[in-house]
């Protein structure tokens, strides 16, 4: 039971970006599983929305997926909308959750890119030969 609770706790803390830091992936397998879960979450949201729109709103697969993509990306061209009460009740929760999840996904991708770039810059600075002229040019107290 503790494993399930820990997993759910880690999942919620990760998806909401609270990031307490008490649980984190600590092996290659855990990193891969976390990455697959994040990508799978985006796929699951698209699948659930499409299936629901096909069942309740009577849209075909292409129109349902199109409506899901336009809702999740907040584009909404106005050519498709939810017409049933059940569809609108579903939309209240699903649009909020799916848009937040997609934003989180892009946040994680951006953070990964930024951290990699910062790491490369730090490595470059730390391995670069410094001269006295470089140090004097970087000294902010010399400006005043």
Residues 37-82 pLDDT 10s: 778 888 888 899 999 999 999 999 998 888 888 888 877 777 777 8
In 13-144 the beta strands, taken as DSSP E runs, fall at none
What is the rounded average pLDDT for all residues in the chain? 81
Least confident of 15-19, 89-93, 111-115, 116-120: 15-19
What is the spatial distance between Cα 83 and Cα 81, in angstroms, rounded to a whole number?
A: 6
What is the spatial distance between Cα 121 and Cα 40, in angstroms, rounded to a whole number?
A: 32
Q: What is the model's pLDDT at position 79?
A: 74
Q: What is the model's pLDDT at position 129?
A: 86
What 8-state DSSP symbol labels residue 90?
H
What is the spatial distance between Cα 144 and Cα 133, in angstroms, rounded to a whole number?
A: 18
Q: What is the pTM of this model?
A: 0.58
- Per CATH, the architecture of 2-129 is what? Orthogonal Bundle (1.10)
* Domain boundaries defined on the chain: 2-129
Q: State the average pLDDT over residues 18-22.
A: 69
Distances (CA, A) of 43 to 39, 51, 112, 117, 138: 7, 12, 20, 28, 48
pLDDT value at 107 more than 70: yes
What is the spatial distance between Cα 90 and Cα 45, in angstroms, rounded to a whole number?
A: 12
What is the spatial distance between Cα 119 and Cα 28, in angstroms, rounded to a whole number?
A: 19
Distances (CA, A) of 92 to 18, 82, 89, 142: 23, 11, 5, 58
Give the chain's count of helices (H) and strands (E).
5, 0
Q: What percent of the chain has pLDDT over 90?
A: 12
């Amino acid at each position: 039971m503790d494993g399930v609770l820990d997993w759910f706790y880690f999942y919620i803390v990760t998806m909401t970006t609270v990031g307490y830091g008490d649980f984190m992936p600590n092996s290659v397998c855990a990193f891969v599983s976390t990455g697959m879960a994040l990508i799978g979450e985006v796929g699951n949201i698209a699948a659930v929305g499409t299936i629901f729109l096909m069942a309740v709103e009577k849209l075909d697969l292409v129109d349902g997926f199109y409506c899901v993509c336009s809702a999740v990306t907040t584009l909404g061209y106005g050519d498709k909308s939810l017409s049933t009460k059940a569809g609108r009740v579903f939309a209240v929760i699903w649009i909020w959750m799916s848009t937040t999840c997609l934003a989180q996904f892009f946040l994680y991708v951006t953070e990964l890119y930024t951290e990699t770039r910062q790491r490369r810059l730090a490595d470059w600075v730390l391995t670069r030969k410094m001269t006295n002229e470089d140090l004097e040019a970087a000294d902010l107290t010399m400006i005043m």
